[in-house]
Amino acid sequence: MIPYGRQSISEDDIKAVVDVLRGDYLTTGPAVGAFEAALAESVGARHAIACSNGTAALHLASLAIGLEPGDQVIVPSISFVATANGPRLVGAEIVFADVDPDSALLTPAALEDAISRADPQRLKAVFVVHMGGNPAPMAEISAIARARGLKVIEDACHALGTEAEDGRPWRVGDCAFSDCAVFSFHPVKTITTGEGGAITTNDDGLARRMRLERNHGLEREREGFGNEALAFDTDGATNPWYYELTRLGLNYRLTDFQAALGTTQLSRLPDFLRRRRALTARYREAFARLNDDSLSLVPAPASSDPALHLMVALVDFDRLGISRAKFMNRLRDKGVGTQVHYIPIHRQPYYVKASPTPELPGADRYYARCLSLPLYPDMTEADVDKVVEAVRAVAQG
DSSP state of 251: B
Whether the CB-CB separation of 103 and 76 falls below 8 Å is answered with no
Sheet holding 163-165, edge to edge: 169-171, 163-165, 304-305
Strands (E), the chain: 47-51, 72-76, 93-97, 123-129, 151-155, 163-165, 169-171, 180-184, 197-201, 218-219, 244-245, 295-297, 304-305, 311-315, 370-373
Active-site residue among 15, 124, 151, 189? Answer: 189
Backbone angles phi, psi at 63, to 5 degrees: -65, -45
Question: How far apart (Å, rounded) are the C-alpha atoms in residues 339 and 19?
Answer: 36
- DSSP designation for 4: S
Distance of alpha carbon 375 from alpha carbon 325, whole angstroms? 20
Asked if residues 35 and 260 have their Cβ atoms less than 8 Å apart, the reply is yes
Which amino acid, 295? L
Give the start-end residues of each E strand in 24-68: 47-51
Backbone angles phi, psi at 348, to 5 degrees: -70, 140
The neighbouring-strand residues paired with 182 are 155, 199
Cβ partners under 8 Å of residue 270, min gap 6: none
Catalytic status, residue 189: yes
| Residues taking part in catalysis | 189
